[in-house]
Amino acid sequence: MAGPEWQSLEQCLEKHLPPDDLGEVKRVLYGKQTRNLDLPRKALETASERNFELKGYAFGAAQEQQRCPQIVRVGLVQNRIPLPTSAPVAEQVSALHKRIEAIVEVAAMCGVNIICFQEAWNMPFAFCTREKLPWTEFAESAEDGLTTRFCQKRHNMVVVSPILERDRDHGGVLWNTAVVISNSGLVMGKTRKNHIPRSTYYMEGNLGHPVFQTQFGRIAVNICYGRHHPLNWLMYSLNGAEIIFNPSATIGELSESMWPIEARNAAIANHCFTCAINREHYPNEFTSGDGKKAHHDLGYFYGSSYVAAPDGSRTPGLSRNQDGLLVTELNLNLCQQINDFWTFKMTGRLEMYARELAEAVKPNYSPNIVKEDLVPRPSSG
């Protein structure tokens, strides 16, 4: 399995394929071609100085008579943790804020309207260790914690800030939460990870499927493991989301081939844009919180963040092995255009599924199975 030496699928295909074949391969793999965004030279230079990848793409949409184009630029940030996990908690947080500030400044130069950071961006992704201290010390109030206040100082951008939340008003429990901050710096609200593969840190979210009506469009946040659950995407979409962010932290051999599939399928199935953000690998040892030996390998976080559109097309991914900012220009009109074209919402028969699901979850549900021994024998031969 490839580690950091293998940069990305796209880089490999572009290196080896003749132009005609490359065109066909990209058509089958990525759908309708995205346009390259002309990013300011100053932004490209600054990204290079600050040692992160900067890429820009744009999805088009048909011209309409009755609506202006609804153009919005989203920024997806993937980054490694800057300090060793053995550094004092406050220093790690401060280094993360500084690193993200360096990236956000470039996003501002690129005209980004909505920016989203990776899952639990205010800390190392320590949850696989199952140790509590010092990791739980990274938890903050969603409403007025240090990281939320850091995000309120942004550059006329909506900020989606996924953090480990300490909920003081409800027994001081932890949540895996994303805070949404408006472009004027107000905390609009928060949303929580709805599906969890049994964590000892936090429970399934209890806030349902809120959608945030920002100045730049209606957005929702499907945190990490929720991307495996088509119903989770669906409910955000039914509540009106035009862009669904999926800040994630996923590793290794089993998930890397699923990564290009799930968020993209959700964009197709729900006639919306989806933004898949993965962490980026931290190659050093992962200190042990319990005084035992350090963890050498939590698995390889492979970056590869991308944006998928309702017409099934997608951007190339960021690298597997570099900090990066992916700037993508969307025309939100494409959502309704594809909704009218493919009509999956109109043909979805949700009443039927609401009934069938209500039956299927009953303890005494009897699945609809046709058995061969119940098939009448034919009367002849």
Which of positions 13-32 make contact with a copy of itself (CB under 8 A)? Answer: 13, 16-18, 21, 24-25, 27-32
Q: Biggest alpha carbon distance in the chain? A: 83
Return the DSSP state at 140: B
The reply to whether 375 sits near a copy of itself by the rule CB under 8 A is yes
Binding mask 97-136 for a copy of itself (x = CB under 8 A): ----------------------------------------
Closest CB to a copy of itself among 12 and 294? 12
d(CA 64, CA 173): 49
Classify residue 274 as exposed, middle or buried by CB count within 10 Å of its CB (0-12, 13-18, 19+): buried
The set of residues, in sequence order, having a beta carbon less than 8 Å from that of 91 and lying 6+ positions away, is 83
Confirm if 276 and 306 have CB atoms less than 8 A apart: yes
Taking Cα atoms as reference points, which of 198, 195, 179, 178 lies closest to residue 187? Answer: 179
Annotated catalytic residue 224: yes
Taking Cα atoms as reference points, which of 222, 215, 258, 216 lies closest to residue 237? Answer: 222
Inter-CA distances, 160 with 13, 77, 88, 152, 337, Å:
32, 11, 26, 11, 26
Q: Which stretch binds a copy of itself (CB under 8 A): 71-79, 201-209, 274-282, 293-301?
A: 201-209
The reply to whether 349 sits near a copy of itself by the rule CB under 8 A is yes
Binding mask 256-285 for a copy of itself (x = CB under 8 A): xxx-xxx-xx--xx----------------
The reply to whether 1 sits near a copy of itself by the rule CB under 8 A is yes
Return the DSSP state at 305: -
Question: In angstroms, what is the minimal distance from the CB of 299 to a copy of itself?
Answer: 14
Residues composing the chain:
381
Annotated catalytic residue 32: no
Catalytic residue among 110, 224, 275, 335: 224
Binding mask 158-187 for a copy of itself (x = CB under 8 A): ----------------------x-x-xxxx
Q: Which of 90, 128, 294, 357 binds a copy of itself (CB under 8 A)?
A: 357
The token pair that represents 373 in the structure block: 């021994």
For a copy of itself (CB under 8 A), the number of binding residues is 92
Closest CB to a copy of itself among 74 and 241? 241
Question: In angstroms, what is the minimal distance from the CB of 264 to a copy of itself?
Answer: 6
The reply to whether 231 sits near a copy of itself by the rule CB under 8 A is yes
Which of positions 305-344 make contact with a copy of itself (CB under 8 A)? Answer: 311-313, 341-344
Half-sphere exposure of 188 (CA within 13 A, CB side): 21
- For the annotated catalytic residues, the residue numbers are 119, 193, 224
